[in-house]
Amino acid sequence: MSPEGDLVPPALQAEGVVKQYPGGGAPAVEGFDVTVRQGELFGLLGPNGAGKTTVISMMTTILKPSGGEMHLLGFRIGSDNHSIKKCIGLVPQEIALFQEMTAQENLWFFGRLYGLSGARLRERIADCLEFIGLTDRGNQKVITYSGGMKRRLNLAAGILHEPQLLFLDEPTVGIDAQSRNLIMEKLLDLNRCGMTMVYTTHYMEEVERLCCRVAIMDRGRVIGEGSPRELINQGGCMSLEELFLSMTGKRLRD
Amino acid sequence: MAQLLTMVKKELLLLGRDRGGLLVLFAMPAVLVLVITLVQSNVQKLMGVSLTQVLLVDQDRGGLGREIGAKFAETGNLEVVENLDGHVIDRDQAINAVGLGRFKVAIVIPSGFTEVLNQRVGESVRRGFGEEVITTRPPTPELQVYYDPTVMGGFRMGIQNGLKMIILGFSAKLKMDEFRRILPVELEKQIQAQIDPKFRDMVSVPSLDFTWDNETLVGVTEHGASRHGMTILPTPVQQNVPAWTLFGIFFIVVPLAGALQRERRDGVFTRLLAMPVSGLTILGGKIIAYSMVCLGQFWLILLIGRFLLPALGTSRFVLGSNWPVAVLICLGAAVAASAYGLMLGSLSRSIEQVSMFGSISVVLAAAIGGIMVPVYAMPPLMQSLSAISPLNWGMDAFLDLVVRGGNLKSVALPVGKLLLFAGVNLLVAWGVLFRNR
């Protein structure tokens, strides 16, 4: 039940969101308007420095917006942060794990902080390890894992508590094709089970495969929004990558 | 509470697997307290504060050697040795032993020393009674003292002054003996010369029995100015055990700030910020876990001071019955160090910065705080600077407890300063990690 009664609120609604870093010159994000419906797998695309990570950080309550309004699952960001944090999950760009702890210990730690305990926690740890194919390696230290295994465990730590809304910030960077394929399959499984996702990546084929809608960002603003097919057709392009380059330019972004 | 315990357990788990961190936290202060205390005990020997053996070559055998042996033994710090490897030592062997550093000092009483002294004393006393004395002018007797070049000035001065006092006393005794022997004879002579012969038998000279030469009229005793009847004198052990405990406690800054910096670098901190866990829990978990480690350091170094150091020849560390106050001081220092580590971890941009700045700042704070050299031995400027070092506050509290016999009330101010320091550091860390976003 949502806090607003029978109406199902959007999973995420952002209106005129601005983020200005202190002493940072131009705003990192300006006039950001996006709505993500519940059950959607929503892609956020943009070149380096477009503001994707800043937006994800504001959506996950890590950063405070300098202006505008954001609502997640009916809760207002800023005043209902604790409630929001219980309902969301984050898979950060970095391998946000304790390298000297085993996979099981990492999941135990994050699960306890989400309020899981006892048999329920043990069950979720076992399920998550099986979900990412690390059941047999669960008692090994993370530092001994390959890049792909670490990425999969990074995902497991974000879904351990079965969040309603999952944020994934470039979750497949720097891994082998097999691990990437497994992660994408698992994300689709989770989405089919009703988990809403906001996904940022630089890989266009991932977006085309996973996302039902995307927003393309550049210089802190949304410059295009719709399903990948709609956007490609509107732009008269052959692929999402061609559209992306036509919208954001071919100049290098560092 | 469950979240806080989870944070504490995680910190302890990670620390337990960080061999480098454990070495820094436990092995380093343990080795430092052992080495520094043993070195300082040796320095005390050089300064004559602890028992030092003094070689004595008594070629004279006239009583002065026995007097030196007895007086040195009375000090409790000096022991006269006349035999080496089962043989009576001669002058050359003694000089060689001191030259090799086996002994710090050798005293040679040349043969005929007492005889010449007696001759001079006799002449001196007889001259006092107006007798015309023909002085034979033998060479002035000289006591020869040889020092190891490493012996410190204070010790040399102490030995020199001690020997002068002993010779003065010995000479006075000889003079008194001579005086006691001559006085009745001279009196008799004077009486016989000045009284009518009819009355001479009616006047007798009283027999003299001077026993004041060994009589002590004024005593000098040594006391520590402690309160509550505590009689512990400052020793290297009483100074070093708390000093290196504090140093070890403050060195948790390096692994703690490093752990925080690593969490920030690896994105774990970002993940924590997106989780339903408060900043107080995140910081509190670290402070509690590292404070537990500090208590472990405290007990380890305490045990070294109680058992290992005495086994290696130093005095025993005495804490007295105030150990709960010592634990309180330890916790105050632990919270201050943890908070400083959190501030450092929040302000730094890399683990290299943390390692370098953390180590340097703690070593500097220890140096000016009286950990390595007591504050009273510093120049006035450094003494003023020491007042700003948190290690000095901790040291002040510990010394107040273990040397001056302080109590909870007397350590409240330095512990309060430590907690205030912790509060300021935590506010800065909080602002950087949670507010400035």
Residues B298 and B421 in one domain: yes
- B92 domain residue, yes or no: yes
Q: Check CB contact of A90 with chain B, cutoff 8 Å.
A: yes
Contact with chain A for residue B144, Cβ under 8 A:
no
Domain termination site, one of B214, B245, B279: B214
Chain B residues within an 8 Å CB radius of A94: 265-267, 270
Residue B219 lies in a domain: no
Which chain B residue's Cα is nearest to A54? B437
Residues B193 and B283 placed together within one structural domain of the fold: no
CB pairs under 8 A between A and B: 72
The pLDDT of A51-68, averaged and rounded, is: 90
DSSP A19-86: E--TT-SS-SEEEEEEEE-TT-EEEEE--TTSSHHHHHHHHTTSS--SEEEEEETTEETTTSHHHHHH
CA–CA separation, A170 and A167 (whole Å): 10
Instruction: Provide, rounded to the nearest whole percent, the portion of chain B with pLDDT above 70.
Output: 88
**Mutation target among B5, B8, B9, B10 for the A interface, most CBs of A within 10 A:** B10
Residues of B in contact with A86 (CB under 8 A): 276
B373 and B424 in a single domain? The answer is yes
Interval B1-49: pLDDT, tens: 889 999 999 999 998 988 888 888 888 889 988 888 888 776 666 555 5
Residues 6+ apart with CB under 8 A from B436: A22
The confidence band for B379, taking pLDDT boundaries of 50, 70 and 90, is confident
Task: Answer whether residue B203 is part of any domain.
Answer: yes
Q: What is the pLDDT of residues A72-125, one digit of tens each?
A: 988 998 888 889 999 999 999 889 999 999 999 999 999 999 999 999 999 999
Per-residue burial over B223-253, b if 16 or more Cβ lie within 10 Å, else e, is eeeeeeebebeebbbbbbbbbbbbbbbbbbb
Candidates B126, B85, B123; CA nearest to B103 is B85
End-to-end alpha carbon distance in chain B: 26
How do residues B77-136 score in pLDDT, each as one tens digit? 788 888 888 888 888 888 888 887 788 888 888 888 888 888 888 888 877 777 777 766
- B18/B76 same-domain check: no
Is the residue at B171 inside a domain?
A: yes
Report pLDDT digits (tens) over B235-259. Answer: 778 888 888 899 999 999 999 999 9
Task: Say if the Cβ atoms of A99 and B17 lie within 8 Å.
Answer: no
In chain B, the number of structural domains is: 2
For residue B228, being part of any structural domain is answered with no
Q: Is residue B387 scored above 50 in pLDDT?
A: yes
Phi, psi of B224, rounded to the nearest 5 degrees? -85, 135
Q: What's the CA gap between B8 and A105, in Å, rounded?
A: 14
- Write down the mean pLDDT value for chain B: 83
pLDDT at B329 (0 to 100): 94
Domain end: B182, B214, B246, which one? B214
Query: What pLDDT digit, counting tens, does each position of B312-338 carry?
Result: 888 888 887 788 899 999 999 999 999
CA A195 to CA A73: how far, in whole Å? 12
Co-location of B27 and B97 in the same domain:
no
The interface residues of chain A toward chain B in range 186-215, judged by CB-CB distance below 8 A, are none
Domain co-membership, B292 together with B159: no
B275/A105 CB distance under 8 A: no
- Residue B320, Ramachandran bin (φ over 0: left; ψ between -120 and 50: alpha; else beta): left
Last residue of a domain, one of B214, B248, B274: B214
Sort out which chain B residues have CB atoms less than 8 A from A62's CB and list them. 270, 273-274, 437
Q: Please, what are the domains in chain A?
A: 12-93+157-248 (3.40.50.300)
pLDDT at B85: 80
Residue B437 to chain A, least CA–CA distance (Å): 5
Percent of chain B's residues with pLDDT above 90: 27
Asked if the structure places residue B229 within a domain, the reply is no
End-to-end CA distance of chain A: 44
Residue type, B220: V
Same structural domain, B388 and B347: yes
Which amino acid type is present at position B47?
Answer: M
Whether B107 and B143 share a structural domain: yes
Q: Which stretch of A226-235, B131-140, B348-357 has the lowest confidence by average pLDDT?
A: B131-140
Interface test with A, best of B18, B270, B434, B435 (most A CBs within 10 A): B270
Same domain, B164 and B277: no
CB contact under 8 A, B10 and A93: no
Q: Clarify whether residues B26 and B170 are in a common domain.
A: no
Report in angstroms the alpha-carbon separations of B22 from A89, A132, B293, B299.
34, 34, 10, 15
CB count in 10 Å sphere of residue B267: 19
- Evaluate whether B73 touches B80 at the Cβ level (below 8 Å): yes
Q: What does the alpha-carbon distance between residue B110 and residue B106 come to, in Å, rounded to a whole number?
A: 13
Lowest mean pLDDT among A206-210, B120-124, B189-193: B189-193
Name the residue facing B274 among A62, A97, A98 (closest C-beta): A62
CB contact under 8 A, B271 and A110: yes
B108 Cβ contact partners less than 8 Å away, ≥ 6 residues apart? B57, B59, B91, B94, B143, B144, B145, B146
Searching chain A, which residue's CA lies closest to the CA of residue B19?
A: A100
Identify the closest residue of chain B to A166 by CA–CA distance.
B274
Question: Would B223 be classed as within a structural domain?
Answer: no
Regarding whether B172 and B26 lie in a shared domain, the answer is no
Chain B contact present for A95, CB below 8 A: yes
How far away is chain A from the Cα of B260, in angstroms, using its nearest Cα? 12
Q: 3-class DSSP state for residue B145?
A: strand
Beta carbons of B274 and A90 less than 8 Å apart? yes
CATH number assigned to the domain comprising residue B156: 3.40.1710
Looking at residue A2, what is its pLDDT?
42
Q: How far apart are CA A247 and CA B232, in angstroms?
A: 82
B144 inside domain? yes
Instruction: List all residues 6 or more positions away from A29 whose beta carbon is below 8 Å from its beta carbon.
Output: A17, A18, A19, A51, A54, A55, A58, A65, A220, A221
Range of the domain at B202: 48-214
- The pLDDT value recorded for residue B128 is 78
Choosing among A29, A113, A164, which should be mutated to test the B contact, i.e. which has the most B CBs within 10 A? A113
> Least CB-CB distance to A95: which of B267, B272, B437?
B267
A21, A109, A151: which to substitute to probe chain B, counting the most B Cβ within 10 Å? A109
- From CA A6, how far away is CA A1, in angstroms rounded? 7
- The CA distance from A82 to the nearest CA of chain B, in Å, is 6
| Better-scored residue on pLDDT, A178 or B202 | A178
- Asked if B93 and B22 sit in the same domain, the reply is no
Contact list in A for residue B271 (CB cut-off 8 A) is 90, 92, 96, 110, 157-158
